Amino acid sequence: MGASSVTGVGPGGVRDLSAHQLTNFFNGPTIIFAGVVDADDGPTSSPPGYNNLVTLPYPLPGSPDDYLVILTGINTGNTYCSGKNENVDGNFWSFGIVVESGGLVQYLVVNAGLKTTAVLA
């Protein structure tokens, strides 16, 4: 793939994008933490509560809504994030996992954002 603009102007030039668009482009989703948890199945309740709590190595700045938790269960049946928690300072510090049956759960914590590969008009 070649550059469509070497001067920074014209089609494909960085000057076609606003500062806000450039910020979203360069600061898009990023994996912050990844790991594996040996999750236990627990008593079922309605609504279900988490029985596996994952505490992050350090609190992430901002609301838990600014982050995504992506889970993949290995022989756990249905697996989902049942809640994201914040500490007393309002920063994201842990999340809960509910599994249908005990097993390994792989997780990713990703900051929410937009990263585009297309030139924005």
* Residue 13 counted as domain residue: no
Domain count of the chain? Answer: 1
pTM of the predicted structure, to 2 decimals: 0.69
Q: Please report the DSSP string for 92-119 in residue order.
A: EEEEEEEESS-EEEEEEEEE-----SSP
* Residue 121 counted as domain residue: no
Strands 52-60 and 92-99, bridge-based pairing: antiparallel
Reading the block at residue 110, the tokens are: 């990703």
CB atoms within 10 A of CB 109: 20
Q: Is 10 left (phi over 0), alpha (psi -120 to 50) or beta?
A: left
Domain that holds residue 49: 30-111
| Gyration radius of the chain over CA positions | 20
* Residue 82 counted as domain residue: yes
* Residue 73 counted as domain residue: yes
* Residue 119 counted as domain residue: no
* Residue 63 counted as domain residue: yes
pLDDT by residue for the chain (121 residues), tens only, comes to: 455 545 555 555 555 666 655 665 566 788 899 999 998 876 655 555 567 899 999 999 888 988 899 999 998 888 989 899 999 999 999 999 988 888 999 999 998 776 656 555 5
**CA dist., res. 63 & res. 61, Å (int):** 7
* Residue 15 counted as domain residue: no
* Residue 70 counted as domain residue: yes
